[in-house]
């Protein structure tokens, strides 16, 4: 029988059941953990059913998992089930991606003296007062709090003041598999067709409708170019965006691709000439990191979480103010007219993705943190 010292620590991740950044980070972390040092399990919760691709990932790898349905505006109804599952599973460390499970995880941590690592994904600029109280609660009672960027940490410190505990904070950027997400063999912006797209959940904070208006303008301004827009993802506003496409008669040049599995998503990125991202706010967008890894220049909203990613000593793309379709169109035209410069932006983006945002780097940071907490 193995001693406690020889037994693998049991690491449980709790994340949203539907499409989003939680899954990308959690599964990238599992893929990168090649040393097989942990006994892994996953808890999924959300108003959306568990994505089949998530279930398949777990089943193929023999990862224990459970789904907890959340009633809209009543996440507390799922807490007894989560608590019972944690008590049965007895994890040594909890990586908490979903704020809706914070209280049962903190209660488990208190009873069994096991660490909870609270990972903040929600953009600070989009947090409501209740969500800021969750941030404060997480800072007070979690063992560690992971922020994805220095800017995010500075924003949190400014908002919660004396409750900010720098000793609890760890800065760990999201990471992706840069071997899988890589540039296509074809050269971007080399033909008469220009394809641009966005991959994100369809929600009110994401502005796919602005991009539909953008392609409408581009077709009017430069009709000799074969403009193509493709939108990957699913969610509450997808039907409204599709209705908008139909109402404008843009079905021949706009594709609402829906949810894509990883292999399909890689092929989708490699079919683009430009990546566009219209959003009210981000923390550290996995889709934008994937676009960077695929060597794509980017046109995106000038909002916190995007601005600090794209604006630096090396230019990766263009920032657009006020979710303005005209400005998106103008910046897309600028990159198309300066194709060599756009390709250089994509090459720089690829290099930065490899250097700063690989899943190996992310996994190493989490492994070091978990090891410290186990001592």
Q: Which carries the bigger pLDDT value, residue 321 or residue 84?
A: 84
Is the pLDDT reported for residue 5 higher than 80? no
Q: How far apart are CA 153 and CA 79, in angstroms?
A: 28
Angle between helices 150-160 and 129-141 (to 10 degrees): 100
Is the pLDDT reported for residue 10 higher than 80? yes
Is the pLDDT reported for residue 371 higher than 80? yes
Residue 28 confidence (pLDDT): 85
Burial 166-187 (b: 16+ CB within 10 A, else e): eebbbebbbbbbbebbbbbeee
Q: Mean per-residue pLDDT for 306-310? A: 87
Residue 139 confidence (pLDDT): 97
* Nearest one of 274, 271, 272, 298 to 285, comparing CA atoms: 298
Residue 4 confidence (pLDDT): 47
Residue 34 confidence (pLDDT): 63
Of these ranges, 31-35, 138-142, 283-287, the one predicted with the greatest mean pLDDT is 138-142
Q: Mean per-residue pLDDT for 365-371? A: 92
Residue 12 confidence (pLDDT): 97
Residue 102 confidence (pLDDT): 96
Is the pLDDT reported for residue 3 higher than 70? no
Q: How far apart are CA 343 and CA 181, in angstroms?
A: 17
Q: How far apart are CA 302 and CA 304, in angstroms?
A: 7
Is the pLDDT reported for residue 233 higher than 70? yes
Q: What is the pLDDT of residues 67-85, one digit of tens each?
A: 999 998 899 999 999 999 9
E strands, the chain, are 10-16, 39-46, 65-69, 93-96, 116-119, 144-147, 169-171, 193-199, 226-232, 254-258, 274-277, 298-301, 317-320
Q: Mean per-residue pLDDT for 317-323? A: 89
- Environment class of 206 (CB within 10 Å of its CB; exposed 0-12, middle 13-18, buried 19+): buried
Average pLDDT, the chain: 92
Q: Mean per-residue pLDDT for 19-45? A: 84
Residue 6 confidence (pLDDT): 59
Q: How far apart are CA 289 and CA 354, in angstroms?
A: 10
Calculate the CA dihedral of residues 169, 172, 173, 178 and round it to 10 degrees. Answer: -170
Is the pLDDT reported for residue 354 higher than 70? yes
The answer to whether residues 296 and 272 touch, using CB atoms and an 8 Å cutoff, is yes
Q: What are phi and psi of 264, to 5 degrees?
A: -65, -40
Q: Which carries the bigger pLDDT value, residue 158 or residue 283?
A: 158
Q: What is the pLDDT of residues 197-227, one digit of tens each?
A: 999 989 989 999 999 999 999 999 999 999 9
Confidence of residue 2 (pLDDT cuts 50, 70, 90): very low
Residue 35 confidence (pLDDT): 62
Q: What are phi and psi of 81, to 5 degrees?
A: -65, -40
Q: What is the pLDDT of residues 111-122, one digit of tens each?
A: 999 999 999 998
Cα-atom radius of gyration of the chain, to the nearest Å?
21
Is the pLDDT reported for residue 296 higher than 70? yes
DSSP state, residue 49 = P
Residue 1 confidence (pLDDT): 39
Q: What is the pLDDT of residues 120-148, one digit of tens each?
A: 998 898 899 999 999 999 999 999 999 99
């Amino acid at each position: 029988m193995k001693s406690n010292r020889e037994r693998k620590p049991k690491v449980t991740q709790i994340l949203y059941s539907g499409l989003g950044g939680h899954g990308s980070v959690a599964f990238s972390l599992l893929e990168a953990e090649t040393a097989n040092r942990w006994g892994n399990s996953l808890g999924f919760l959300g108003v959306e059913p568990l994505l089949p691709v998530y279930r398949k990932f777990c089943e193929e790898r023999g990862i224990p998992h459970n789904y907890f349905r959340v009633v809209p505006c009543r996440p507390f109804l799922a807490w007894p089930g989560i608590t019972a599952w944690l008590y049965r599973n007895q994890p040594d460390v909890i990586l908490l991606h979903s704020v809706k499970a914070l209280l049962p995880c903190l209660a488990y941590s208190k009873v069994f003296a096991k660490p909870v690592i609270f990972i903040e994904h929600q953009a600070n600029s989009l947090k409501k007062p209740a969500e800021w109280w969750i941030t404060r609660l997480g800072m007070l009672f979690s063992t560690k709090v992971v922020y994805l960027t220095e800017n995010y940490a500075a924003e949190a410190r400014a908002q919660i003041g004396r409750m900010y505990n720098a000793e609890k904070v760890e800065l760990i950027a999201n990471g992706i598999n840069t071997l899988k997400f890589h540039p296509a063999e074809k050269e971007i912006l080399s033909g008469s067709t220009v394809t641009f797209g966005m991959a994100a959940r369809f929600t009110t904070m994401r502005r796919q409708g602005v991009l539909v208006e953008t392609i409408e303008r581009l077709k009017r301004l430069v009709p000799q170019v074969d403009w193509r827009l493709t939108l990957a993802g699913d969610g509450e506003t997808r039907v409204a965006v599709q209705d908008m496409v139909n109402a404008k008669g843009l079905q021949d040049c706009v594709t609402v691709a829906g949810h894509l599995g990883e292999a399909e998503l890689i092929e989708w990125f490699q079919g683009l000439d430009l990546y566009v991202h219209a959003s009210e706010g981000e923390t550290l967008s996995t889709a934008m990191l994937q676009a960077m890894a695929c060597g794509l220049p980017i046109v995106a909203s000038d909002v916190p979480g995007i601005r600090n990613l794209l604006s630096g000593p090396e230019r990766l793309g263009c920032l657009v103010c006020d979710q303005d379709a005209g400005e998106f169109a103008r910046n897309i035209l600028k990159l198309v007219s300066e194709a060599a410069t756009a390709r250089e932006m994509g090459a720089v983006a690829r290099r930065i993705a490899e250097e700063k945002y690989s899943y190996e780097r992310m996994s190493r940071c989490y492994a070091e943190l978990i090891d410290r907490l186990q001592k």
